[in-house]
Structure 1
Amino acid sequence: MNEPFVRSGNRHRPLSEARARAARFAGALQDLGIGHGDRYAIVMRNEISYLEANLGAAAIGAVPVPVNWHWTGTDLEHLLTDSGSKVAVVHSDLIPAVEAHMPPGMRIVEAGVPAEIREVYGLGDVPLTGRHPVMDDLIDQTEPAVATDQAPPLAVIYTSGTTGLAKGILRDPVRPEAVPGMMRSLSDLFGLQPGYTTVLPAPLYHSAPNINMISAAALGMNIIIMPRFDAEEFLRLVDRYHVDSVQMVPTMFVRMLRLPKEVRDKYDVSSLKSVVHAAAPCPPDVKRAMIDWFGPIVKEYYGGSEGGAWVQCTTEEWLAHPGTVGKPAGGAAIRILGPDRQELPVGETGVIYGRPADYWPDFTYLNDDAKRREIDGGDGFITVGDVGRVDEDGYLYLSDRLNDMVISGGVNIYPAEIEACLLRLEGVKDAAVFGIPDPEMGESLAAHVELVPGAKVTADDVRGHVQRSLARYKVPKVVVFEERLPREDTGKLFKRRLKEKYRPAEGNA
């Protein structure tokens, strides 16, 4: 069997070499004062050094804190301070932002920006700053760390902050006796096996891609890291390297389906055995099109960074229950609770609470135990703020985010339904629907719409389309056309940035 490898752009490295470099980087972290339980931030884009920086934690029981490298200003300052990270590993071009917002006493380790990152982001030449120790130099100069036998906590993942400042999820170490169960579950969920090849197309600062990467490395798989998702490049990689499994988000499906048929047909995707998606709702027509293209290998799961995957859904289950995100699996459980925290009958819509499988570690929010208590539903159940229902067969269906629900004239309105409707209007590329202050109704609906380039769609077209499809009270009162809606690469939409435009001015609230 060929030696497992990790690849990014045109760079190819044996996985054994990446592990050895990670061990030496762990030694360098120790020299910088990082010990068991200490946290260090990773402010990098997707590339091989990201894997090595992340793997370095395990040897010394430290805790990596993956950082959304897009963040600046208040968001970045909050994370770097709130996490208590002693060190930040940062790509050279991102260093000025980190320097401007890092707390006193934090150290920076500089990671050079490789050619593939410079190319896909159009960065040109990015020289080292010369102000901080360089990751590659530290690896070359440092002896491997002596591995600790203490189990490290999992990475501290910060939520995306779609409705406020991000929260750090501080998880307990995985109990040694729970490790086999967790690995079996993750292997099944992501379609991971020794000898398989996987592509990592999503940002590694997110929970699922991060866990997928670490699990694949632990199993000795071939790992291909995409510096940035590109629909045709993804298909090329699947074809060239006979990729077996991949974890994706619905936005990536949409981009691939938009490729001309003659482009899609150029690439052989028959090697794929597992394509799993999560992170954002997948429009039913998009999912059906992916199943028609890739075959009955498209799986889905729902849960959260706080509690792992609560429900899972195979292709066959989805076709039998269109629109579902799955049913509890692996020992997890689901409850639908009403405003009084009482369990609701089958078919009724309420707040979704999930109880993780026994192997999943408990957690709190870093520096905010009160926020952790707010989401507790008792008996080990927690909520990540979604609304939905369960059918008579136990399958879960999502309605919307609890924070996104609009109450207009005493009526509950779920914007996700209206957004899905708008995406069926020809010329609409993306849509965000949310509540805005209304002196008479309490809230009314606003729709911010992103059009396909060249499309001619008016506000009346938008309202008329919704009125023909849904109840009259679901028709947006305000329609705004945006050049681009503020979405993450995972598909998560930052509605708070849009809502800020409607906040009353100071003194007029």
Structure 2
Amino acid sequence: MAIEAALAEAGSFCDIVREHAQERGDTPAFTYGEETITFAELDENSNRVANALAAFGVKKGERVAFLGKNHPLYFEALLGAAKIGAVMTPVNWRLAAPEVAYILDNCCARVVFVGEGFADVLARVRGQAPDVEQVIGIDAPDHAGTDYRIWRDGFPARPPATRVGLEDDALQLYTSGTTGRPKGAVMTHGSILSSRDAVGQGEMRSWQEPVEGDVTLLAMPCFHISGTGTGIGTMVAGSNSIVLPEYDPTKALELIENYNISKIFLVPAAIQILLNHPRVKEVDFSRLKYVTYGASPIPLELMREAMEVLGCGFVQMYGMTETSGTIVALDPEHHVPEGSPRMRSVGTPLPGVEVKIIDEEGNTLPASTVGEIATRSSKNMSRYWNNPEATAETIDEDGWLRTGDAGYLDEDGYLYIHDRVKDMIISGGENVYPAEVENALYAHPKVADVAVIGIPSEKWGEEVKACVVVKAGEELTESELIQHAREHIAGYKCPKSVDFIEALPRNPSGKILRRELRAPYWEGKDRAVN
């Protein structure tokens, strides 16, 4: 059966993998170092995982979690969980222990898969995640409990009997929250497979089309939609993913050479790191067809250098966890070395995706008028996990999802990002919400008041700066405060610098005027994102 037909008939992405196993069983699905997992092995082993989870008592709709770096067995476990209607929840391994504990407790995971290097973290937080009953180590010699491969192979390879459909939950990814607590965005099989509608209608753009023999480098973390979305996408396409545990430019260049990589998704900071590598001019990139990039805009000079060195097509992607990934894209033909007005946009909506610009009351604004970006499509998440209030604030009764980004549409339907409604900072492709950082800094006994802003960074796009008012009679240093933050939140969220000031600017109602704090650092920039 052709990929297009399989997509059109699938009730879940499990069905598509099963189809690939029957028709191209010897084709590699994932490669990791010296290990290769074929589609036949992926289907059979995920059946074993499904039966093992079911035997433990995991039921449809329950969550399982994964704490570790990228690994093909993560996708095997994800697929196995999906086959019984359970939902994989990958946890950001860069988070501080209290943040890991919150997510495990919030998602109520009874089974946690842990990767090498994270057994100690999990052991420290077990007491704060009382639902966790079983821990399974994936190639984790530091974990003294159940070994994944032994556990998996103790169960039969027959397909489980559970019926899974497009409406069923499949994946739960946590996003940073404006209130300081992350929210679990729930994606269904339908939202993940929504691109199948474009396939069936022949509306896919050329860079989206699955091509036999494609090889994708999976370099972005699987706790993001960019990582898990890439892995699921290659499973659906029937192609091979070369998996990097974490982004390493030296290793990435080796894999591009050795595996004839044809597609990569990278954030702009990762592209810059790759181009700065001393070996980059020696590498043969002739098989590389597309670099897709997103999470933050890319400077024209960096794009020009990337086009010259890599010599492939570039696709800018705009989307978010809540939209199951990309909803708007700027196609390769709009990327030109000399630059163009269109290159300042993020492109046009993908087939089946609606985008509009709204004011605070939800009214649609005319072309070229800045407002909040809203979107509606089958790609939208179903809800925030156990958080109906946040869901109602984000998705209205007609299915329109507020992105929190400010921008405008031109007369031709191209979307331009102008600013962020939510004050979010994007540093190296990672979302950082000021409230999370502020909550951590407020916990320091010498801090009287604090506001966190994003300022331009040549390396990361933006970096975190804290503006701090110290309590009367106290003394506090930048290094002391940053070290305190590192004990409570992930390193990438911590301030890179601190300004100590007399008082924070506020409006009459007491709201911090972040724009006043940001203004000096963004002077001369034509938009307030970098």
| Alignment partner, residue 205 of structure 1 | 223
| Preserved CA contact (<8 Å) 2:355 2:376 | yes
**C-alpha separation between the residues in 2 aligned to 1:135 and 1:392?**
54
| Alignment partner, residue 417 of structure 2 | 398
| Preserved CA contact (<8 Å) 1:235 1:269 | no
1:286 counterpart (263, 287, 302): 302
**C-alpha separation between the residues in 2 aligned to 1:31 and 1:503?**
61
| Alignment partner, residue 251 of structure 2 | 233
Can you list the C-alpha shifts for 1:440-462, whole angstroms capped at 9, x where unaligned? xxxxxxxx9xxxxxxxxxxxxxx
| Alignment partner, residue 333 of structure 1 | 354
Amino acid at match of 1:369: P
Can you list the C-alpha shifts for 1:387-416, whole angstroms capped at 9, x where unaligned? 22222322112123223289xxxxxxx977
TM-score (norm 1): 0.74
| Alignment partner, residue 89 of structure 1 | 113
After superposition, where does 1:384-463 map in structure 2 within 5 Å?
A: 384-404=403-423, 419=456, 423=458, 431-432=462-463, 436=467
| Preserved CA contact (<8 Å) 2:71 2:245 | yes
**C-alpha separation between the residues in 2 aligned to 1:54 and 1:158?**
16
After superposition, where does 1:478-489 map in structure 2 within 5 Å?
A: none
Post-superposition offset of 1:377: 5.3
2:367 pairs with 1:346: yes
| Preserved CA contact (<8 Å) 1:162 1:494 | no
Evaluate the alpha carbon distance shift between residue 88 and residue 316 of structure 1 in structure 2; reply closer, same or farther with a 3 A threshold: same
Amino acid at match of 1:341: G
TM-score (norm 2): 0.72
Can you list the C-alpha shifts for 1:141-166, whole angstroms capped at 9, x where unaligned? 11135242322422011114587221
2:150 counterpart (122, 137, 143): 137
| Alignment partner, residue 455 of structure 1 | none
**C-alpha separation between the residues in 2 aligned to 1:134 and 1:61?**
23
Amino acid at match of 1:366: W
Can you list the C-alpha shifts for 1:250-306, whole angstroms capped at 9, x where unaligned? 12101011123xx21221111112221112232232222222233351101112121
Evaluate the alpha carbon distance shift between residue 373 and residue 15 of structure 1 in structure 2; reply closer, same or farther with a 3 A threshold: same
**C-alpha separation between the residues in 2 aligned to 1:504 and 1:74?**
30
Can you list the C-alpha shifts for 1:213-239, whole angstroms capped at 9, x where unaligned? 122123321221011212132122112
**C-alpha separation between the residues in 2 aligned to 1:337 and 1:494?**
30
Post-superposition offset of 1:435: 7.8
Post-superposition offset of 1:5: 4.5
Q: Where do 5+ consecutive residues of structure 2 fail to align?
A: 1-23, 426-451, 470-477, 505-511, 513-530
Evaluate the alpha carbon distance shift between residue 351 and residue 482 of structure 1 in structure 2; reply closer, same or farther with a 3 A threshold: same
SS in 2 for 1:251: helix
**C-alpha separation between the residues in 2 aligned to 1:500 and 1:107?**
45
**C-alpha separation between the residues in 1 aligned to 2:130 and 2:267?**
37
| Alignment partner, residue 386 of structure 2 | 367
**C-alpha separation between the residues in 2 aligned to 1:104 and 1:74?**
14
Post-superposition offset of 1:65: 0.8
Amino acid at match of 1:223: S
| Alignment partner, residue 343 of structure 2 | 322
**C-alpha separation between the residues in 2 aligned to 1:15 and 1:377?**
40
**C-alpha separation between the residues in 2 aligned to 1:104 and 1:163?**
24
Percent identity of the aligned residues? 25
Can you list the C-alpha shifts for 1:91-144, whole angstroms capped at 9, x where unaligned? 253223223324224223322436xxxxxxxxxxx4432xx3221111121113
| Preserved CA contact (<8 Å) 2:29 2:235 | no
After superposition, where does 1:172-321 map in structure 2 within 5 Å?
A: 172-174=188-190, 180-181=196-197, 192-260=210-278, 263-295=279-311, 297-308=313-324, 309-319=326-336, 320=340, 321=342
| Alignment partner, residue 98 of structure 1 | 122
Evaluate the alpha carbon distance shift between residue 26 and residue 198 of structure 1 in structure 2; reply closer, same or farther with a 3 A threshold: same
Evaluate the alpha carbon distance shift between residue 34 and residue 503 of structure 1 in structure 2; reply closer, same or farther with a 3 A threshold: farther
| Alignment partner, residue 146 of structure 1 | 160
| Preserved CA contact (<8 Å) 1:183 1:215 | no
Which stretch shifts more, 45-54 or 160-169? 160-169
| Alignment partner, residue 494 of structure 1 | 493
1:108 counterpart (130, 134, 159): 134
Evaluate the alpha carbon distance shift between residue 495 and residue 504 of structure 1 in structure 2; reply closer, same or farther with a 3 A threshold: farther
**C-alpha separation between the residues in 2 aligned to 1:108 and 1:355?**
39
Aligned residues: 432
**C-alpha separation between the residues in 2 aligned to 1:363 and 1:496?**
33
| Preserved CA contact (<8 Å) 2:296 2:461 | no
Post-superposition offset of 1:334: 1.7
SS in 2 for 1:322: helix
Q: Where do 5+ consecutive residues of structure 1 fail to align?
A: 115-125, 407-413, 439-447, 449-479
Evaluate the alpha carbon distance shift between residue 349 and residue 415 of structure 1 in structure 2; reply closer, same or farther with a 3 A threshold: farther
**C-alpha separation between the residues in 2 aligned to 1:135 and 1:433?**
39
